[in-house]
Structure 1
């Protein structure tokens, strides 16, 4: 009998994925049409409390909320690129990546070395610590070759972010409903173009 392996399946969703998805799925889109959670300091503080990331006394400023939106929106652009969204041009992607470099410089990480390995951790607390934790999680996923599996639904205006569990990394929509809607939209657009071309002949 061959020995049992403890190696994780490539489709297993690691904890870092949960932390990143929890952060990016705070926008107004998505299958449940949730409200903007980082609209201002008050709504961001409520989100922190709801998700066990803060307490009613956690200090949140309007600048914190704006910084959260900036980081999140840049990340969603990258996740749309992971999904092959045609609206994400090289110029748009480059701008988002530059924004992320600038943001990362404001929330430095340190390498923590132990006997069992090494990891990146934030040097800050509070809201800045949250941003650093998200960035550290992304780095962990990239090192595990899982970063590209985090994607944003290509269906406009959903853009709900998810972990792609397909073996060939081919998921582009958060579910069959969005995939069907996108296919129908493409079909209708193609039909409209064919009718317009027929009128010209």
Structure 2
């Protein structure tokens, strides 16, 4: 788990959704009413939220240069179902993609992806390379080559494994 600060803009929603599952312990905050409420998920939308979460995780692993840990529905297939519209600010003429309805998680995620694409930040949202983690984090490293959600935990574990492997 990361000690990093939240991702910027709408990416914070995606980061929060992916991080509802702690792979190491198996704890899934979507199993609790508070966890679902925090993301605006109803009981009926739970299966869809989990499917979206794992599709996002697969893409975030790809951002970090790693294959997905299991087969999932392609994120593009899911996002194609999201009703969005172009919202234009009448004061300054700026435009953005926005959810057609504010409630649905899928639409909010699709709008966040679109916002991040325009801002150039989409590929900075990654999943930790540690097999027991895959926690989402925003890579703030200058070169954008971060590998772990936490250098103190996952990075240190990987370096220790590599060190021990050399002595064998």
Question: Please, what TM-score do these two structures have when normalized by structure 1?
Answer: 0.69
Q: How does 1:55-94 map to 2 (within 5 A)?
A: 59-61=42-44, 64-85=45-66, 88=67
2:161 matched to 1:180?
no
* Greater relative contact order (Cα < 8 A, sep 6+): 2
Partner of 2:9: 15
Structure 1 residues 85-109: Cα deviation after superposition (integer angstroms, max 9, x where no partner): 3xx07xx89x65x621221122221
Partner of 1:107: 82
Q: Which of 102, 105, 119 does residue 130 from structure 1 map onto?
A: 105
* 1:132/1:186 CA distance change after superposition, 3 Å: same
* 1:111/1:138 CA distance change after superposition, 3 Å: same
Partner SS, residue 98 of structure 2: strand
Q: Distance in 2 between matches of 1:69 and 1:18?
A: 17
Q: Distance in 1 between matches of 2:146 and 2:7?
A: 15
Q: CA deviation at 1:191?
A: 4.9
Q: Is 1:107–1:124's contact at 8 Å kept on the other side of the alignment? A: no
Q: Which of 27, 32, 37 does residue 35 from structure 1 map onto?
A: 27
Q: Distance in 1 between matches of 2:112 and 2:53?
A: 14
Partner SS, residue 117 of structure 2: helix
How many residues get paired?
A: 160
2:20 matched to 1:26?
yes
Partner of 1:4: none
Q: Distance in 1 between matches of 2:118 and 2:102?
A: 24
Partner SS, residue 38 of structure 1: helix
Q: Distance in 2 between matches of 1:73 and 1:65?
A: 13
Q: Distance in 1 between matches of 2:167 and 2:34?
A: 46
Question: Please, what TM-score do these two structures have when normalized by structure 2?
Answer: 0.81
Unaligned runs of 5+ in 1: 1-11, 193-201
Unaligned runs of 5+ in 2: 1-5
